[in-house]
Amino acid sequence: MQRCALTLVLAFSSAALALDNGLMRTPPMGWLAWERFRCDIDCQNDPQNCISETLFTDMADRLAEDGWRELGYVYINIDDCWSSKERDNQGRLQADPKRFPRGIPRLSRYIHDRGLKLGIYGDIGTHTCGGYPGTTLDKVQTDAQTFADWGIDMLKLDGCYSNSTYQELGYPMMSKALNATGRPIGYSCSWPAYQGGLPPKVNYTQLGQICNLWRNYADIQDSWDSVLGIVDWFFENQDVLQPAAGPGQWNDPDMLLIGDFGLSLDQSRAQMALWAIMAAPLFMSNDLRTISSGARAILQNKVAIGINQDQRGVQGRRLIKEKSGIEVYLRPLSNGASALVFFSRRTDMPYRYMTSLKTLGYTAGVYEAFDVFPEKRLPELKDTTEFVVSVNPSGVVMWYIYPAADWWKGAEPSRFSEKLIGPKFHRYANEAYAPLVL
């Protein structure tokens, strides 16, 4: 086994370290099972919520019928615990026959017929984190080809039951193996999360050459403390992380909790806004069959999505961290636009924060602003004009800002989101319904 694995490593080592799949030029969007449904395999007692074909077809129906797909939420991603405990007699992974009785290829066709894409989960170790068969080095090519044969569109490759040496070999090998199948398959690597997320152990230049996105940090949990911990880590290390992101290669702070149990509506808006500033993948992990109207409105906010999907692909930064508990974040966007987020860590009452665009580094001029979550256009602002924003505890105010002389000046506020993300969308063959930025 070890000798075979070393032969495969040598065979792959002569190829250039390049993913070269042309995918995910803006952060991918969709739905992912893990945070909400974990490893629930009790289909006898919990048939609607267990990891099964039914769960994924239900979510596909909701994405296709409830307006999600048209906004860019196109991936339906299976996570751990989907497979049989044993490979088949040809050494290939296989789905659990009771929970996926028609197999993954049939599920893939169901997803594709609805204009969506299917993601799947693997692990570059002896076992997945849930104890299912992993992808050892001698199985990398087999598993990559199996996923391609099944019509898979994205692979999340975890790192349980492996070590740093194995990961250093396995993650690049899988990148090349996916490319070699000839099927475009987006590649999510958990490698940096297992190496502390920072140089020198993590080489972000190399990651950008082999992965479309990567998990940098610990798994998100359904709590505000978890969100704050992730935000702190990402922005405290922004000088390292921000330059690594760009079209086709994204830092991934993990799933959106909006619509679950742990966040208030203000906290949900804050997560959506901060993930948009980070140019983060937008993978919801919730129950779309029962989601509240308030959570839906946040996740389907066209301007927040348009900011996240900006084609320039520059990750934003934290500008200011005030003693008052107010923080200010900025993301530069295409065509001279930008997004500002005023975020409150306070827990007492709304806080009135005064500043000016000049103070925040804007050049001299007159600007238009659009308040993202109330969806309202604001009066013109000179760079020197002081203004006040009232930020709720653990909440945000998010603005889209554009020089006043340019293209959306004079547009009706109700038409603003169309100006930002466009009224038309790419079809499936061109990254399925990714919003256009006009």
**What value does the mean pLDDT take over residues 215-234?**
98
Contact 40, 51 (CB under 8 A): yes
pLDDT digits (tens, 9 = 90+) for 85-134: 999 999 999 999 999 999 999 999 999 999 999 999 999 999 999 999 99
- Quick one: which H or E segment has residue 30? strand 29-32
Q: Which residues are catalytic?
A: 158, 219
Rounded-to-integer distance, Cα 328 and Cα 322, Å:
9
**What value does the mean pLDDT take over residues 254-267?**
98
User: Token digits for 385?
Assistant: 């004009």
Rounded-to-integer distance, Cα 224 and Cα 354, Å:
26
Q: Which CATH architecture has domain 317-425?
A: Sandwich (2.60)
Could you tell me the pLDDT band of residue 423, with boundaries at 50, 70 and 90? very low
The ranges assigned to domains in the chain are: 2-308, 317-425
Give me Rg for the CA atoms of the chain: 22
Can you say how many angstroms the Cα of residue 61 is from the centroid of all Cα atoms in its chain?
Answer: 21
Neighbours of 228 (CB within 10 A): 15
Query: Would you say the CATH fold of 317-425 matches that of 2-308?
Result: no
Contact 396, 342 (CB under 8 A): yes
User: Token digits for 281?
Assistant: 């993948």
pLDDT at position 88, please? 98
Q: Is 410 left (phi over 0), alpha (psi -120 to 50) or beta?
A: left
pLDDT at position 20, please? 78
Could you tell me the pLDDT band of residue 274, with boundaries at 50, 70 and 90? very high
pLDDT at residue 6 above 90?
no
First to last CA, the chain: 53
**What value does the mean pLDDT take over residues 143-155?**
98
> 45, exposed or middle or buried, with CB in 10 Å at 0-12, 13-18, 19+?
exposed
Q: What percent of the chain has pLDDT over 70?
A: 88
pLDDT digits (tens, 9 = 90+) for 378-407: 999 999 999 999 999 999 999 999 999 754
Rounded-to-integer distance, Cα 127 and Cα 11, Å:
24
3-state secondary structure of 405: coil
The residues with which 122 forms a beta bridge, in sequence order, are 157
pLDDT at residue 1 above 70?
no
> What is the number of residues in the chain?
438
pTM for this model (two decimals): 0.91
Beta strand 213-215 with 186-189: parallel, antiparallel or unpaired?
Answer: parallel
Rounded-to-integer distance, Cα 66 and Cα 96, Å:
29
pLDDT at residue 422 above 90?
no
Beta strand 186-189 with 282-284: parallel, antiparallel or unpaired?
Answer: unpaired
User: Where does 351-395 show beta strands of DSSP type E?
Assistant: 351-356, 366-371, 376-382, 386-391
pLDDT digits (tens, 9 = 90+) for 312-340: 999 999 999 999 999 999 999 999 999 99
pLDDT at residue 19 above 90?
no
Contact 338, 303 (CB under 8 A): no
**What value does the mean pLDDT take over residues 177-203?**
98
- Quick one: which H or E segment has residue 76? strand 75-77
Could you tell me the pLDDT band of residue 420, with boundaries at 50, 70 and 90? low
pLDDT at position 13, please? 34
**What value does the mean pLDDT take over residues 251-275?**
98
Rounded-to-integer distance, Cα 191 and Cα 189, Å:
5
Class of domain 2-308 (CATH, top level): alpha beta
pLDDT at position 428, please? 26
Q: Which of 227-236, 289-298, 351-360, 407-416 has the lowest average pLDDT?
A: 407-416
Can you say how many angstroms the Cα of residue 206 is from the centroid of all Cα atoms in its chain?
Answer: 20
Contact 353, 391 (CB under 8 A): yes
Q: Please state whether the peptide bond connecting residue 27 to the residue before it is cis, i.e. omega within 30 degrees of 0.
A: no
pLDDT at position 297, please? 98
pLDDT at position 406, please? 59
pLDDT at position 429, please? 26
